[in-house]
Amino acid sequence: MFKRIGTLMKGFLSLFISGIEKSNPAALIEAEKENLRKQIARFNDNLASHAGFVERLLRQIKNLEQKEKEITARVAANIKAGNRSVAGTLALELQTIKSQLEENRDQMVSAEETYKKLLKTRDVAVNEAQAKIQKLKQLMSETEMMEAQADVVMEAQKRTASTMLQGPYYRGGVVSGIAKGRFKRTGDGAEHHIVFKGTQHGNRIAEIAFINEYGKKNQPARPFIKTANEQAAGEATEAAAKILHNWQESQ
């Protein structure tokens, strides 16, 4: 009989407080902060390197522009003086400078676009990392909220068990067996169980609690879990709301 009850009680016994998965968000926050620092350092190194390339390119363009101006003047002066041979040689040099200048200016346009893309990529990565850190902070707050709610409900179940389960065979095992379980991953979030640990009279405390909660033939139900959950609902909500308020105030 107890084996059958043990199978049935799986879906009924524990109190489930649902929420989002909270696998040590504090540690995850620190890891994300460290990743963000490394990302920013890498992006800044790349930006600094590219900025150095742009600066060198600017100097080259200025030098070529100065040469272009000087040689243009010399070509004009030699043509005016009738030195056509010299003017022709200078004109060829001027053509080479103009070609180099055009190439450098094209590189500058491309370099400026690349710099803007690097900046945008860095900003997107930083914003995404900061959003993830913010979400993890919220998850940490939600974890604390679930923990506070579980504390309230667990104590309420202990109180109702101690008052509602009195009888000739009661030895206090249910009260002492009530404990918080662990967060458990589910398909749509996580669950925080309140469980019953230990044994009494050779039977599991969880089975004894189940029979008391739902009753059996010739033994009426004594719904101490349901009663506790209903009584603790307001206090549990207030405990969670306080933590949420503190989190909001810290943002």
Q: Which two tokens stand for residue 213?
A: 């909660």
Mean pLDDT of the residues in the chain: 80
Convert 103-128 to b/e letters by CB count within 10 Å (16 or more is b): ebeeeeeebeeebeebeeebeebeee
Decide: 174 and 210 in contact? Cβ < 8 Å. Answer: no
Rounded Cα distance, 183 and 18, in Å: 9
Question: What pLDDT, in 10s, does the model give residues 154-169?
Answer: 899 999 998 888 877 6
Strands (DSSP E) found in the chain: 15-19, 178-186, 189-196, 199-200, 203-204
Rounded mean pLDDT, 27-32: 74
Answer whether residue 7 shows pLDDT above 50: no
Can you give the residue ranges of every domain in the chain? Answer: 2-250
Rounded mean pLDDT, 77-95: 90
Cβ neighbours of residue 200 under 8 Å, at least 6 residues apart?
A: 171, 173, 174, 177, 208
Question: What pLDDT, in 10s, does the model give residues 198-213?
Answer: 888 788 998 888 988 8
Decide: 248 and 240 in contact? Cβ < 8 Å. Answer: no
CA distance readout (Å), 247 to 128, 209, 250? 21, 37, 5
pLDDT class for 148, splitting at 50, 70, 90? Answer: confident
pLDDT class for 21, splitting at 50, 70, 90? Answer: very low
Rounded Cα distance, 246 and 6, in Å: 41
Q: Which pLDDT does position 66 carry in this prediction?
A: 94
Rounded Cα distance, 241 and 144, in Å: 11
Rounded Cα distance, 222 and 44, in Å: 66
